[in-house]
Amino acid sequence: MEFTAQEIADLIEGTIEGRPDVAVHDVSKIENGRPGTLSFLANPKYTPYLYSTEASIVIINDDVHLNGDKKINSTLIRTPDAYSAFAKLLETYNKKREPQAGIADTAIVSSKAHIGKGVYIGDYVVIEEGASIGDNAQLYPYTFIGRDTSIGRSSKLYIGVKIYHDCNIGQNCTIHAGTVIGSDGFGFAPQQMQDYKKIPQIGNVIIEDNVEIGTNCTIDRATMGSTVIRKGVKLDNLIQVAHNVYIGENTVIAAQTGISGSSTIGRNCMLGGQVGVAGHLEIADEVKIGAQSGISGHIREKGATVLGSPAYDISAFKRAFTYFRNLPKIVKRIESLEKKLKDRQENK
């Protein structure tokens, strides 16, 4: 699949400096660009590569000033925001690679399911009765959709996604391979014989529009009511969201984070990798939580930034860590002072 500089410039509304007919068929990083590839320059520290790259086309910001004494072999396309323009091109490229609409012969689709227009259903997909698949949705091979579950318009479910019964997935959502949504929450009542009785999980999962979920995540159904992921949320790979959790709009969560049951996370929050959130907690809007932090209490201050396990204010954590790092020296000083004090007492 090829694009000329002129086609790219028209798409991103850019200005060409060089040959408008030069074509590219792949992408590359600017530092190791190859002929026939498209690259971009957004970070000023990579500017020197502009004069050495072999990429055929490079997208740059309008405000990049060139060194007239150095030769540039690439055709340049200027745009107000090179990074966003490049992302737009990749999105266009991906859309051209998407599978065509249709239902594979090996798919099993209930006659009582509703399938919208322009839907792609891959090999060995199973769709149970009462399920609803919105227009232009894409279900890749080995996906499972349980009874009475709805998938919104233009959502994509990649290979092996499993969505249990009675769940609702919004429009323009992306769920990556191996993710399971709607499995039972971890609910067991201790018994007198020191064993456990399973508590039926009769709720569901609601995922609103424009949510992206990475590979091998698990989002448990509620015991009662709903586990809710609000619109615009982005989840990385390998994340566990337990029963009755609520995640607010546009919150982003990095890989290997675990959120325990019935906790509420506000909107526009950022959680780093391997964060652990205990159950029944409230986290305010716009909170930032550093990687590997342990959240064992409520965070009710809007916009707070915390770090550590247990987590607390990041400024206080950094000061405490400075002392911790110097702890061996401090211990030696204390031991030395104790020895001097002991010697002085013995010599009296």
Q: What is the CATH number of the domain that holds 19?
A: 3.40.1390.10
* 129 lies in the same domain as 263: yes
Indicate the residue among 97, 119, 153 that finishes a domain: 97
Q: Give the number of other Cβ atoms within 10 Å of residue 279's Cβ.
A: 14
Which residues of the chain fall short of a pLDDT of 70? 348
Boundary of a domain, candidates 82, 97, 112: 97
Spatial CA neighbour of 282 closest among 238, 232, 267: 267
Report how far residue 253's alpha carbon sits from residue 272's, in angstroms, rounded to the nearest whole number: 6
Structure tokens at 181: 């949504």
Residue 322 domain-assigned (yes or no): no
Distance linking the first and last C-alpha atoms of the chain: 92
The half-sphere exposure of 207 on its side-chain side, counting CA atoms within 13 A, is 31
**Residue 302 is which amino acid?**
K
Q: Residue 245 domain-assigned?
A: yes
86 plus 143 within the same structural domain: no
- 203 burial (CB, 10 Å; 0-12 / 13-18 / 19+) is buried
**Cα-based distances in Å from 83 to 61, 66, 124:** 9, 18, 38
CATH of the domain at 248: 2.160.10.10
Within a domain: residue 148? Answer: yes
In this structure, are 118 and 246 located in the same domain? yes
Angle between helix 82-97 and helix 5-12 axes, rounded to 10 deg = 110
Torsion angle in degrees (nearest 10) through CA of 118, 177, 237, 98: -40
Q: How many CB atoms lie within 10 A of CB 130?
A: 17
- Residues 106 and 240 both lie in one domain: yes
Q: Could you tell me if 137 and 156 are in contact, meaning their C-beta atoms sit under 8 angstroms apart?
A: yes
Same domain, 70 and 53: yes
Q: How far is CA 282 from CA 34, 173, 174, 179, 248, in A?
A: 50, 26, 27, 26, 11
336 within a domain of the structure (yes/no): no
Q: Each residue of 16-59: pLDDT tens digit? A: 999 999 999 999 999 999 999 999 999 999 999 999 999 999 99
Single out the residue in 68, 97, 126 at which a domain terminates: 97
Residues 256 and 300 in one domain: yes
Same domain for 274 and 191, yes or no, is yes
Q: Please confirm, yes or no, whether 298 is among the known catalytic residues.
A: no
Domain holding 195, by residue range, is 102-317
Is there a single domain that holds both residue 14 and residue 117?
Answer: no
Q: Are residues 186 and 250 in the same domain?
A: yes
Q: Is the domain of 215 the same as that of 277?
A: yes
- Let me know whether 90 and 118 are in one domain: no
Tell me, yes or no, whether 111 and 242 share the same domain. yes
Q: Three-state DSSP class for 202?
A: coil
Q: Considering its fold, how many domains does the chain have in total?
A: 2
Q: Catalytic one among 65, 165, 176, 243?
A: 243
Task: Compute the residue count for the chain.
Answer: 348
338 domain residue, yes or no: no
| Domain annotation covers residue 258 | yes
**CB of 180 closer than 8 Å to CB of 198:** no
Specify if 73 maps to a domain: yes
Q: What is the pLDDT of residue 114?
A: 98
Alpha-carbon distance of 7 to 338, in angstroms, equals 78
326 occurs within a structural domain: no
- Asked if 59 and 48 count as a contact pair (C-beta separation under 8 A), the reply is no
Rounded Cα gap, residues 303 and 14, in angstroms = 37
Nearest-angstrom CA–CA distance, 23 and 222: 52
Q: With beta carbons less than 8 A apart as the criterion, state whether 37 and 60 touch.
A: no
Q: Which ranges of the chain would DSSP assign to H, the alpha helix?
A: 5-12, 82-97, 314-325, 327-346
In this predicted structure, what is the pLDDT of residue 320?
81
